[in-house]
Chains A and B, each alone.
Chain A
Amino acid sequence: MTATALAPQVLIAGNPNSGKSTLFNALSGGSAHVGNYPGVTVDRTSARVQLGAQDIKLVDLPGMYSLTAGSLEEQLAVNAVIAEDTRAVVCVVDATTLERGLYLALQLIESGVPVVVALNMMDSAERIGLRIDTERLSQLLGSPVIPVVATKRRGLAALRAALDQELGPSSGAAKPKVDYPPELEADVATLIPLISQWRPASHPRQLRAFALWCLLSLGDDSLRDVPDAVRQAVQRVREAAHVQGRNSDLEIVAARYAWIDHAVDQACSTNGRRPRWSERIDRVLTHPFAGLLVFAVVMFGIFEALFAGAEPLIDGIERFTEIIQAQTSAMLPAGVLRDLIVEGIIAGVGNVLVFAPQILMLFLFIGFLEDSGYLARVAFVIDRVMKGVGLHGKAFVPLLSGFACAVPAVMATRTIERRRDRLVTMLALPLMSCSARLPVYILIAGTVFAGQSLGWFSAGAVALFSMYVLSVLFTLTAAALIRRTVLPGPAPTFVLEMPAYRWPSAQILWVNAWRRLRVFLVDAGTIILAMTILLWALLSFPKSADVTEHYAAERDRVEQMALPAAAKTESLQSLRDREAADQLANSFGGRFGHAIEPALRPIGFDWQIGVGIIGAFAAREVFISTLGVVFGIGEANEEAKPLRQALRDARHSDGTPVMTPLSGVSLIIFFLLACQCMSTIAVVRKESGSWKWPVFLFSYMTVLAYVVSFAVYQGGRLLGFG
């Protein structure tokens, strides 16, 4: 660890879509460490790289258009740039959008840190007839400008050499001088004494850059660690400027772009514009008709892959877990330790791994959409719809993925830029009817609607279809309400760059998807494993000695009866299943089910359903196997006839049947709306960075589920159903 802390740090900065991460991967050879910046949920990707004679730590900063910061997440970049161990910054500039890229480069150079500009995508620039004199540009910037093509690994040696040199003694090249208006210079001068108290060790150049940064960033920000004195001074200066009819923001940005326009004039020329491929592709992909068609096809493809394509892999993992469980059971002596290992730990690891196929698939898709440039078009095409409920166009893919599974879908909200928009999306999307709910719907609908029909359709199919429609309505309504109440603020702005189309690199897609999966397995996985063990304990303890004794005696009795072998085995199995049911009824979970029965009766459930709901917290489909145990019929799946029969035969204490069509509908709706999924909780904890949001999510969904089920059940009774 000490060695890592001492290694000089080199940052890689750049606009989104500038090929920054590709360059990072090319320089680091794909080996990277993903961590988290303290306090915010932004990945911190870094790698140790040998450069010349020394070891450096290469850090991939999040994509950004400027160093100006309004939020803690944006502040990361500034903090990294001014960090003591930062020796240099590689600023990746897309040569085809040179001006905008130079804005960031200029800001970095102004801050006083040694900068090497990696002028990326030089091949694309040449193709569209853009010629850039890198030597001239380098003179103007006072920093080396190295042409590279990161995807083809061209120019890397020159880049490394330039970086190595920048890490040595300063070359003393003249730095660019942006021509700020004299009034602004006066404002900066008044701020400098305060800034130098805040950052005593800074170089005069840095102080100036910092004063400009404060003028541009402070005011409507949510930054921490800014001294009040600096805040107040900045506010005074800005207000004074405003009174004079000046706009400090405009003065700063316009002066920088004036410098850039001048530099580009000197260093660039175009020899006739050639049409871009991207423009031609866009004529189709954003066409009013063809564009929507392609959109629908691509989205359906992703949906189908997550829904059906991942199925065999998930089944495989589940079967593998069962085999390991059986093998381990056979090897260990019966007892609490064996149960803990088999039903707690191995089941928990299985519960984590089972998400791997969908996470990997979704991130490969999203990576492809993002790197190819189509994700921005998806947002462009569908934003109109998302805007209506206060969401960003980029929320569409995560929401759609919610139909398959909320866990990868919550992770996919990372593509949404602003934290508030991301939170709204991740708090609403668990209401999308995921694939784990389906077996529950099938079991219940098959139990209460067997053979019934509504007009031309079977009642079960109508119930199932309604759940999907309802889930979309509830999700969108929840998003709109959360936006207005819990996370109020300005509507999300939609200012989105539409990058040129590019063919993504398979290797990078894979590396990134794998990184995401690894982070999930370690961070969310730990929480899921712990919760599985906790749930196992709740449903296993305390063990009743009376029950054990009673069934031991029963078994002895059966053993001594003169019965055919097959009949004997069957009786013994039935005893085991009934013992498990009695032990479960006696466990903490079983007692809790009994305790909450008075609350469950008004929505049409009894304590046995209650225990099933508690068990389902592991994963919704576990509801079915828990019910199998509750009703003493052993293993069960959603098609199991004995379980359906047991459900139909279940009676309340007053002799009325538990499962009626009305209570069935109430139960299905409860499952649609309740947050019966600890993995969702775990992943929201991970992605939101605090326990506050998963607790809120669980609470609001549970209350919503209860209230709607109550209204349906009681309303139905008033209308004479059930």
Chain B
Amino acid sequence: MKPSLADLLPGQRGQVVSIDCERQLSRRLMEMGLLPGTRIRVVRTAPLGDPIEIRVRNYSLSLRRAEAAKITVTREAVP
């Protein structure tokens, strides 16, 4: 099974495979540039463990783990 965005640790990079959540949210994520094939990097976790911050298309986006868990990604090997 492929990992979800919530499984990536801070510093890890990956590529979006699919977004499987409620339509409003998936549409919004897509329109903000998170599409299959888009490269992402997890930057950090909030001090209290949730949400997480990711880097996508040159900007930072934060989303809750529950939402990140619905985004399937591939994990890139750390160089």
Binding site for B on A (CB under 8 A): 65-66, 68, 70, 96-100, 103, 216, 219-220, 249-250, 253-254, 257, 278, 282, 286-289, 291-292, 376, 379-385, 387, 393, 490, 493-500
CB–CB B62/A496 < 8 A: yes
Within the complex, which residue of B33, B36, B59 is in contact with A103, where a contact is CB–CB below 8 Å?
B33
- A219: chain B residues within 8 A (beta carbon): 23
- A381-B46, A384-B48 in contact; A254/B35 too (CB < 8 A)? yes
* A220 in contact with B57 (CB, 8 Å): no
Q: Closest A-chain residue to B18, C-beta based?
A: A250
Bound-state Cα–Cα, A559 to B64, Å = 77
Chain B residues touching A, majority SS: mixed
Residues of A within 8 A of B31 (CB): 65-66, 68, 103, 253
Partner of A100, one of B23, B36, B57, B62: B57
Assess the A384–B58 pair: CB atoms within 8 A.
no
Which residues in B have some Cβ–Cβ distance to A below 8 Å? 22-33, 35-36, 43-44, 46-51, 53, 57-64, 67
Do B53 and A257 touch (CB < 8 A)? Answer: no
The reply to whether A496 and B27 form a contact with Cβ atoms under 8 Å apart is no
Q: How many A-B residue pairs have CB under 8 A?
A: 116
Q: With A257-B35, A383-B64 as known contacts, state yes or no: A495 contacts B29, CB within 8 Å.
A: yes
Residues of A close to B30: CB separation below 8 A: 249-250, 253-254
Residue of A at shortest CB range from B66? Answer: A491
Contacts of B24 in A (CB 8 A): 70, 220, 490, 493
In the assembled complex, the Cα of A300 lies from the Cα of B64 at a distance in Å of: 26
Chain A residue numbers with a CB within 8 Å of B35 are: 250, 253-254, 257
A282 and B53 CA atoms in complex are apart in Å by: 11
Report which residue of A387, A493, A496 has the largest number of chain B beta carbons within 10 angstroms of its beta carbon. Answer: A493
In the assembled complex, the Cα of A70 lies from the Cα of B62 at a distance in Å of 22
Pairwise interchain contact A493-B46, C-beta atoms closer than 8 A: no
B77 CB → nearest A CB, Å: 21
Residue of A nearest to B46 (CB): A380
Q: List, sorted by A's number, 29 A–B pairs whose CB atoms are closer than 8 Å.
A: A68-B27, A99-B33, A99-B57, A216-B27, A219-B23, A220-B24, A249-B26, A249-B27, A249-B30, A250-B30, A253-B30, A253-B31, A254-B35, A278-B60, A282-B60, A286-B47, A288-B47, A376-B62, A383-B50, A383-B64, A384-B49, A393-B51, A493-B24, A493-B25, A493-B28, A493-B67, A494-B64, A495-B63, A499-B59
6 closest pairs, A vs B, by CB? Answer: A384-B48, A498-B60, A253-B30, A97-B59, A66-B31, A288-B47
| Chain B nearest Cβ from A701, distance in angstroms | 30
A495–B44 CA distance with the chains assembled, in angstroms: 15
Q: Report the minimal beta-carbon distance from B25 to chain A, rounded to whole angstroms.
A: 5
Q: Which of B33, B51, B58 has most A Cβ within 10 Å?
A: B58
Tell me which of B44, B53, B64 contacts A387 (CB under 8 A). B64
Residues of A within 8 A of B27 (CB): 68, 216, 249, 253
- Tell me the smallest distance from the CB of A108 to a CB of chain B, in Å: 13
Is the CB–CB distance between A494 and B33 below 8 Å? no
Residues of A contacting B29 in the complex (Cβ-Cβ under 8 angstroms): 495
Determine if B59 and A286 form an interchain contact, defined as CB atoms under 8 angstroms apart.
no
Q: Which B residues touch A286, using CB under 8 A?
A: 44, 46-47, 53
Known: A216-B27, A253-B30. A497 touches B61 (CB 8 A): yes
Question: How many angstroms between the C-alpha atoms of A383 and B64 in the bound complex?
Answer: 9
B67 to chain A: closest CB distance in Å?
Answer: 6
Q: Looking at the assembled complex, report how far the CB atom of B28 sits from the nearest CB atom of chain A, in whole angstroms.
A: 6
Min CB–CB distance B35 → chain A (angstroms):
5
Residue of B nearest to A217 (CB): B27
Assembly CA distance A249 to B62 (angstroms): 22
Which residues of chain B are near A385, meaning CB under 8 Å? 48
